[in-house]
Amino acid sequence: MGFLKRRIFQGLGTILPNSYFQGFLTASLYQGSVKGVCSPLLNCYACPSALLSCPIGTLQHFMVTGTVPYYGAGTLAVIGASVGRMTCGTLCPFGFLQDLLYKVRAYKASMPVWTRWFRYAVLVGLVFIIPYLTHENWFSKLCPCGTLIGGLPWVTLNLNVRSMIKALFWVKIGMLLFIVGTSTLIKRPFCRAACPLGAIFSLFNKSSLAQLAWNAETCTRCGKCQKICPVDIRPDRNWTNPDCLRCLDCTRCPSIKLTTVFHGNPFGLPTQAQAVGATDRIKEVPALERP
């Protein structure tokens, strides 16, 4: 996917799920039938312009009520089994924001690989176990994306909401500012270390229908794929990396391409049997006839 094309898709992923603009004018939430549909993105249910439900919020709702989230889990499983984390790299509005913030001129740092395990802890703890035990949607209470597109607009639009501000709101603001600040220094810190939706989709990267393929024969190991990667990984070293967002920026290199699990030879390379056969045929040609 071209760089500009990905930006267009990210823009659409920001606008289309949040196109109920009347919500900002009337300070009301959309409650139509579409709100029952799970977005494939981290997108706040409480945003005044939100048309779709947040998948993580849906999972939490079922945990709070003590029921199995068949619909939410099934939706995420279908998406993950199809494209892995591709929606994170090509559509997610909060990921888009982090991409833009990293372009700010500032000191740049790398993130340790082991921090990826935090997102699984967030998924298990804040999305499943704690909501089940406390009967409250704790990830939604703390989510920086929800604070940005849900909490801040409501505080701005509604006097009654402003009157209910307590200490938790300032904790949420502090978390949002921390993510915004670190996003100028590190590539997508929230996606890599804290996003529970990314944690779910990352479980499918090794087995999803859509896959990346790497051609070892033509790769020069120059490392340019890591420089343009929004999560600072090298697909030439592990093209099924659970951190990979499948943004497809790295496919600008001819040694990496998008393929499927059904395509056993995406680059059309000769198989070992074909190579052996070709060698045998060369041996059969008389020496004087060889070029």
pTM confidence score: 0.88
Q: Which pLDDT belongs to residue 288?
A: 41
Q: Is the pLDDT of residue 270 over 80?
A: no
User: How do residues 72-107 score in pLDDT, each as one tens digit?
Assistant: 999 999 999 999 999 999 999 999 999 999 999 999
What tens digit of pLDDT does each residue of 110-136 get? 999 999 999 999 999 999 999 999 999
Q: What distances in angstroms separate CA 185 from CA 42, 94, 105, 107, 243, one per listed residue?
A: 22, 16, 9, 6, 18
- Two structure tokens written together for 22: 């009347």
CB neighbourhood size of 273 (10 A): 8
Give the residues across from 213 on adjacent strands: 257
Cβ–Cβ contacts within 10 Å for residue 185, how many? 16
The predicted pLDDT at position 26 comes to 87
